[in-house]
């Protein structure tokens, strides 16, 4: 499902001189064979039962401290009552879901989780992040394009340093050749190259639109700006990258800029919890997995105390309350990865006036996992 990314394939591209410097810290880095999908499929295959796709829009208390789940408030229960509800998500949708958990007198039936899921949007100065008592999320534009002429570099992924517009570029076609003997999930026509470019959070904030309904003119504008920034970063002539296919996507709820300071949110009394990369950070798949493991240890300790791997796990998490702080990697345009030493970029010194998302931003889709076709 995953494979090691060869040493030297990933590094830092400096806009100042268009020089690429491979990361040489000796840390292992992993990529999904054929992208993230294979990793998720591999995990799902190890589960007893996975129901998908399944949107969960409401949760309501059932008998014996259990929970009914449904698509919407008052909707038909999705299966039998559940012993525990763990919301492995953040942002407005997660807060909205927790907000549907009501006791018969109308109070919150999952108040610890509900409070922990309050959120806001928009990259902002560090002092403002430090004052926040909730999750703040940045946004990122992502461009995927295909060319019939290879762009040339030997590297496969680069953190772009010094660009106000782009933060990451990757030759997805090259990356997907690291597959051992596995057959390709998608066969690419010979000679074609597929690339992915990520914007900086500031660029995304300043070009915020409804992510589920991107105006064509904005898509064209963002495509042109990201392509132009890539050409400039790589030292290519303006207009020399001629894509035969492009697609842009705005990740409204991309990376957490504040972290909750707990491995996971957990409440034995209501049998609810929440986990994700925003709990302890730095925002990446590894942090999300660690948080989920902490939550699952606690659930096991609660429901199967005699055979649990870590019988004290529920008590420990029960005792914790979120303590928000600015993520140490908040100025990283792309989230961050444990142990990695790459230029983090800069947080804005002040919030923009007028144009842009800032505090008003917040159109959120259904999570970063949906439709993911890129990894960084
Ligand atoms: C553009 C981009 C590229 C990235 N690249 C990398 C990378 O290369 N490597 C890396 O380590 N990290 C990367 N990250 C960060 C990484 O994606 C996140 O850290 C990670 O996905 C967080 O996992 P999570 O489980 O906390 O949340 P998510 O991945 O957001 O998962 C939440 C899931 O819950 C589902 N969901 C939400 N609400 C509901 C509901 N009501 N009912 C049912 N399902 C629901 C969503 O559809 C989603 O699948 C990237 C992030 C972005 C934005």
Per residue in 277-301, pLDDT tens? 999 988 889 999 999 999 999 999 9
Global ipTM: 0.98
Q: E strands of 252-374, at which residues?
A: 258-259, 265-267, 272-274, 325-326
Q: Binning pLDDT at 50, 70 and 90, where does residue 232 land?
A: very high
Q: Is the pLDDT of residue 359 over 80?
A: no
What domains can you pick out in the chain, each with its CATH number? 2-40+140-251 (3.90.660.10), 54-136+256-341 (3.50.50)
Q: Is the pLDDT of residue 345 over 80?
A: no
Coil vs helix vs strand at 66: strand
Q: Catalogue the long-range contacts made by 309-317 (C-beta closer than 8 Å, 24 or more residues apart).
A: 314/266, 314/268, 317/262, 317/263, 317/264, 317/265, 317/266, 317/273
| Residue 49 token pair | 């039962």
Mutate to test the pocket of ligand 1, among 78, 284, 334 (most ligand atoms within 8 A of CB): 284
Alpha-carbon torsion 54, 59, 60, 62, what sign? Answer: positive
Indicate which atom in ligand 1 lies nearest the CA of residue 337: 11
Indicate which atom in ligand 1 lies nearest the CA of residue 366: 47
Per residue in 141-170, pLDDT tens? 999 999 999 999 999 999 999 999 999 999
Q: Where does ligand 1 bind, in terms of residues with CB under 6 Å?
A: 54-56, 88-89, 93-94, 97, 140, 142, 198, 251, 254-255, 276-277, 283-286, 288, 335, 366-370, 375-376
Per residue in 3-12, pLDDT tens? 999 989 999 9
Residue nearest to atom 52 of ligand 1 (CA): 254
Task: Name which of 118-127, 163-172, 230-239, 325-334 the model is least confident about.
Answer: 325-334
Mean pLDDT of 76-85: 97
Per residue in 178-188, pLDDT tens? 987 777 777 77
Tell which wins on pLDDT, 342 or 12. Answer: 12
Mutate to test the pocket of ligand 1, among 368, 372, 373 (most ligand atoms within 8 A of CB): 368
């Amino acid at each position: 499902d995953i494979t090691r990314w060869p040493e030297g394939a990933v590094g830092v591209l400096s806009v100042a001189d268009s020089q690429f410097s491979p990361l040489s810290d000796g840390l292992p880095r992993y990529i999904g064979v054929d992208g993230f999908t294979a990793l998720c499929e591999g995990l799902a295959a190890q589960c007893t039962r996975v129901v998908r796709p399944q949107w969960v829009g409401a949760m309501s208390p059932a008998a014996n401290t259990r929970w009914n789940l449904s698509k919407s408030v008052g909707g038909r229960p999705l299966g039998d009552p559940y012993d525990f509800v763990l919301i492995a998500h953040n942002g407005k949708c997660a807060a909205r879901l927790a907000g549907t958990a009501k006791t018969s007198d109308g109070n919150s039936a999952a108040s610890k989780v509900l409070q922990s899921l309050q959120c806001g949007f928009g990259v902002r100065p560090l002092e403002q992040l430090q004052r926040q008592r909730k999750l703040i999320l940045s946004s990122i534009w992502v461009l995927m394009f295909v060319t019939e002429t290879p762009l040339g570099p030997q590297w496969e992924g680069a953190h772009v340093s010094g660009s106000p517009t782009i933060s990451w570029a990757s030759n997805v076609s090259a990356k997907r050749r690291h597959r051992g003997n596995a057959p390709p999930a998608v066969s690419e026509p010979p000679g074609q190259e597929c690339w992915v470019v990520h914007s900086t959070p500031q660029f995304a904030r300043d070009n915020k639109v409804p992510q589920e309904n991107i105006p064509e003119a904005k898509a064209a504008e963002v495509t042109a700006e990201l392509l132009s920034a890539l050409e400039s970063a790589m030292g290519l002539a303006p207009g020399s990258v001629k894509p035969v296919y492009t697609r842009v996507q705005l990740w409204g709820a991309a990376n957490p800029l504040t972290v909750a300071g707990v491995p996971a949110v957990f409440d034995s009394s209501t049998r609810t919890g929440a986990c994700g990369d925003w709990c302890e950070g730095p925002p990446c798949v590894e942090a999300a997995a660690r948080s989920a493991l902490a939550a699952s240890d606690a659930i096991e300790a609660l429901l199967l105390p005699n055979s649990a791997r870590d019988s004290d796990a529920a008590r420990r998490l029960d005792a914790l309350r979120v303590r928000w702080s600015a993520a140490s990697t908040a100025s990283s345009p792309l989230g961050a990865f444990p142990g990695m030493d790459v230029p983090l970029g800069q947080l804005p010194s002040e919030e923009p006036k007028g144009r842009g998302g800032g505090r008003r931003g917040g159109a959120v889709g259904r999570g970063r996992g949906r439709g993911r076709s890129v990894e960084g």
